[in-house]
Amino acid sequence: MSLFTEEYPSLESYWRSVILFGRNVATYKFALAKSLIDLDLQAGSFVSLEELSEPFSKNIIEHLKNNDKQITSKSSTFLNACREAMRNEMSHDQLISTTEKYGFVNVLDAFHIVNQNEIPIKFFDKENRGRTKGIVLTDNLFFLNESKQFQNLGHEVEARWRLVETAWSLNISPSLLEVHYDEESNIFFIENENIRRTDVTSARDALNGYQKGKCFYCFDDISVESFSEDLGDIDHFFPHTLQGQVQINLNGVWNLVLACKNCNRGPNGKFARVPSIKLLERLHKRNTFFIESHHPLRETLINQTGKREDERISFLKAMDSFAINYLIHRWLPLYEHSPVF
C-alpha cells in the first residue's frame, strides 16, 4: 500500500487508493464514488443527502439486478428498500427517503480511510446546513474532474465493484478463486470445477487503475474508452509466442499489462522481444499493487506466482531467463515519461 500512495502522490493516486485498496464490507463506497464522478459540478459544491440519494440508490440497484450480494452482513434496511423498489413495491419518493436515512450511515466517514488511516486529502467533507444534511465537495474533486485521467475513473470503479461482488457471491475460499483472461473478448472471467464460467469485468478497466492510467512501458497517458485514439492495448509482458514452449499460463493476470499503441506495435514496438530487467522489476511492483489489494485478483496473482515475495521474484527471474534464451533480444522504449510507479 505504501508504494502506491506515497511514491509520486497525485489526486488520481489518492482516488485510486480509495477504490483499489480501501477495506470493503459493503459496495456502498463504489456507489458513492460513481455518484461523485457523475455529479454536475456546475451546480455548486454543496450536495444534500437527498440529492445524493438519487444517483447513489440508482447505482446500487443497477448492480443488484445482476448480483444480489452487495454487503458481507446478513441484512440491510437500505438494500431491502432497493430490492422493494426494483419489484415496484416501494415508491421512488420512499426509496429516496430511505436512502437518505440509511444509505450513508457509514460510507461517508469510511470513504477516505485506506489501510486503517485517513488519506491526507479529501474529495468531500460532511456538512449540515440548518436541518439539511449533506456534503461539500472540495477543490480536489473539481481538480480531479479536470484531469486527463478522469475519463477512466468511472470504468475503474465499475471494474473493482464487479470483482468484489463476484468474489462475495461465489462464497468459496479465496484460495480457490482464479481469474482468467479471454483474449478474444478482453474479459476477465472466473471458472473452476464447482462453478460455471462467470464473466467479471473488462480486462482493460481492471488493469488500468493499477497502472495509474499510464502505459506500462513509457508512462504515456492511455484511455479505456472504447473509441478513444489513446485506447490502451492489452499486452503480454512475456510475449505470447512463448506459450507453446513453456508450461506456464502467459494469459495470467501476472503477465498482462496495458500499453500504448506505440510501445506495443509502433515502429519501435516491443512485439516478440523480451523487456529489459528494469521493466521486469516494474512488473513485480505492479503485481505487488494487485497483491496488496483484495481478492480475487490478489489470490489469482498469489496462485500464479507464489505465496511469498521471494517466491514471486524467483518466478519472474526464472521466466525471464527462459524467455531471453529463447527470444534473444531485449527491448526498451525509446522515450519514457516521468515514472508514476
The string of pLDDT tens digits covering residues 2-20 is 444 434 468 898 899 899 8
Q: Which residue has the cell 462475495?
A: 168
Q: How far apart are CA 154 and CA 174, in angstroms?
A: 26
Q: What are the C-alpha distances in Å from 268 to residues 100, 143, 153?
A: 55, 35, 30
Average pLDDT over residues 37-48: 93
Average pLDDT over residues 148-152: 91
Query: In the predicted model, is pLDDT for residue 276 greater than 50?
Result: yes
Residue 7 DSSP label: S
Contact yes or no for 295/167 (Cβ under 8 A): yes
Q: What's residue 137's pLDDT?
A: 97
Q: How far apart are CA 10 and CA 16, in angstroms?
A: 10
Query: In the predicted model, is pLDDT for residue 46 greater than 60?
Result: yes
Give the closest residue to 24 by CA, choosing from 157, 141, 125.
Answer: 157
Task: Kindly list the domain boundaries of the chain, sorted by start residue.
Answer: 2-146, 171-331
Average pLDDT over residues 266-281: 94
Higher pLDDT residue, 338 or 170?
Answer: 338
Q: How far apart are CA 55 and CA 32, in angstroms?
A: 8
Residues near 326 by beta carbon (within 8 Å), at least 6 away in sequence: 242, 245
Q: How far apart are CA 151 and CA 149, in angstroms?
A: 6
Contact yes or no for 30/157 (Cβ under 8 A): yes
Torsion sign across C-alpha atoms 44, 47, 48, 51: positive
Q: What's residue 53's pLDDT?
A: 98
Per-residue pLDDT band for 295 (boundaries 50, 70, 90) equals low
Q: What angle do CA 66, 153, 158 make, to 5 degrees?
A: 10
Q: How many whole angstroms from its chain centre is CA 311?
A: 25
Q: How far apart are CA 63 and CA 104, in angstroms?
A: 17
Give the closest residue to 38 by CA, choosing from 125, 121, 151, 114.
Answer: 151
Query: Among 13-17, 197-201, 218-222, 329-333, which stretch is predicted with the lowest mean pLDDT?
Result: 197-201
Ramachandran angles phi, psi of 127, nearest 5°: -155, 140
Contact yes or no for 48/127 (Cβ under 8 A): no
What SS3 class is residue 199? strand
Query: In the predicted model, is pLDDT for residue 273 greater than 90?
Result: yes
Q: What's residue 5's pLDDT?
A: 42
Per-residue pLDDT band for 172 (boundaries 50, 70, 90) equals low
Per-residue pLDDT band for 73 (boundaries 50, 70, 90) equals confident
Stated pTM of the model: 0.83
Q: How far apart are CA 19 and CA 3, in angstroms?
A: 16
N residues, the chain: 341
Q: What's residue 308's pLDDT?
A: 94
Q: What's residue 33's pLDDT?
A: 97
Contact yes or no for 20/289 (Cβ under 8 A): yes
Rg (CA), the chain: 21
Q: pLDDT > 90: what percent of the chain?
A: 66
Q: What's residue 75's pLDDT?
A: 86
pLDDT tens column, 97-138: 999 999 999 999 999 998 778 988 999 999 999 999 999 999
Q: How far apart are CA 115 and CA 22, in angstroms?
A: 6
Average pLDDT over residues 198-214: 88
Per-residue pLDDT band for 237 (boundaries 50, 70, 90) equals very high
